[in-house]
Amino acid sequence: MNITKENVDALNAIVKVDIVADDYKEKVAKVLNDYRKTANIPGFRKGHVPMGMVRKQYGKAVMIDEVNKLLQESLNKFLVEEKLDILGNPLPKVNESFSWDAEQFSFEFELGLAPEFDVDLKSNKVKSYNIVATEELIEKELENIQTRYGKLITQEEAEEHSNVTGTFVNEEKEINKKSTFLVNDLKGKKNEKKLIGAKVGDVIELETKKLFEEDHKLQNVLGVSKEDAEDLDIKVTFTVEEISITEKAEFDQELFDKLFADGSVKTVTELKDKIKEDAEKQFQQQADQQLLNAVTESLVENTKFDLPKEFLQKWLQTAGEKQLTAEEAVSEYEKSEKGLRYQLIEGKIMKDNDIKIDYAELVDYAKGFIRSQMAQFGNANPEEKELDDIAGRILSNQEEARRLQEQLVSQKLVGFFKENIEFDTKEVSYEEFIKEVYNVDAKK
């Protein structure tokens, strides 16, 4: 057997595999001999079927199977030994004169080669954000805590700060939804006046257009989709069923211990510090994701290299479960090219800077993820063996293991980028961050 490679250009190559009879005859003979021992053919005792008959019946199929096995093994071994960095998979070239009746065969494969390039981190000017918890946000969370741990007191009549429970109905739109909301969540004094003074059993007609201060509230109370809620302009009846007001909880040691069982909070000032710390920890995760997205965009834009475009489009036609037309493959390539470029850039950065992940690191990362999940359900100190067992089960699932590995890689890359890229850092509130990065009003 002989394998040779010919470079077409820097990004494309042809590998030729020549296989002669001596390469496969011995394996074919062994398989046929095993067939002979087990074949059940009328008129012959088991194990005494003439080899000529076995060869005539099975010989060609066995030969084809063994040649294909040998071809695949030898091609894979060649790619590894030659350290060829290929994109996609080798594509067999069609040979119109090929025949399985010959004793020696020649196969050719097209290869798409990964480009060689350098990554200049210094040329990337990227904006990063330091998201701070504002005093307004902290005060709002203090109020939420007091409300959450407060006591509901039943009322005879609704007031501005009352909780009102009732059923919204509109037969034409098939709306029949029981909901609870605050009277002062309503938008405009006109709507508030309709509820203030209302009693249990009262039926009030309301217009849905601009009914609530927050846009998403209408969607929730009526049980309609976001799209329907956006332009909904109908009349609904609201039947009052319950009225109450929340007596806010006092900030005392009993409440602090409910929030932090370890006794770490003893004053409102310490509680505010905890709220700020926890909020900014969550904000940091979003800021890091934005940073990674921004660096990705910048690297793809500023790292120039060519790809074996025609080869990849041809490969995409047969790479998936469903075969694509040439036009579909071109479209798929255009959609995936940016992602492929970043994969190559990411791989180059990790290789050049010895950024690696071993299994022990992945287990520790999985355990940290599990620990934080368990803490949310009140188990702040799980046993190590329990964490090991859960991590083992999660990582035995290939899809979950890949997801966690991607998260860990992203975490390492963010740390690397922070050390090696010069950022234009801007300090913002969470609302400013959401509006600037995603062009969305966080208060809605």
Closest CA to 60 of 101, 18, 104: 101
Cβ-based neighbours of 222, under 8 Å, separated by 6 or more? 168, 175, 177, 179, 208, 229, 232, 236
Please, which pLDDT band fits residue 443 given cuts at 50, 70 and 90?
A: low
Sheet holding 12-19, edge to edge: 2-9, 12-19, 105-113, 86-92
The 10s digit of each residue's pLDDT in 284-331 is 999 999 999 999 999 999 999 999 999 999 999 998 889 999 999 999
Burial class, 292, CB count within 10 angstroms (exposed 0-12 / middle 13-18 / buried 19+): middle
Query: Position of tokens 């067939």?
Result: 35
The 10s digit of each residue's pLDDT in 376-435 is 776 768 889 999 999 999 999 999 999 999 999 999 999 999 999 999 999 999 999 999
The 10s digit of each residue's pLDDT in 167-206 is 999 999 899 999 999 998 898 788 889 999 999 999 999 9
Buried b (16+ CB within 10 A) or exposed e, 372-382: eebeeeeeeee
Please, which pLDDT band fits residue 73 given cuts at 50, 70 and 90?
A: very high
For the record, the structure tokens of 399 come out as: 């899809």
The 10s digit of each residue's pLDDT in 17-70 is 999 999 999 999 999 988 888 777 777 777 777 888 888 888 999 999 999 999
The class level of CATH for 151-247 reads alpha beta
Closest CA to 209 of 189, 191, 223: 191
CB of 90 closer than 8 Å to CB of 75: yes
Domain boundaries in the chain? 2-113, 151-247, 261-305+355-438
Q: How much is the pTM?
A: 0.77
Q: What pLDDT score does 444 carry?
A: 53
Q: What pLDDT score does 143 carry?
A: 93
For the record, the structure tokens of 2 come out as: 């002989």
> Could you give the angle at which helices 309-319 and 326-352 cross, rounded to 10 degrees?
110
Amino acid, single-letter form, for residue 351: K
Please, which pLDDT band fits residue 442 given cuts at 50, 70 and 90?
A: low
CB of 329 closer than 8 Å to CB of 317: yes
The class level of CATH for 2-113 reads alpha beta
Q: For residue 339, is pLDDT > 90? A: yes
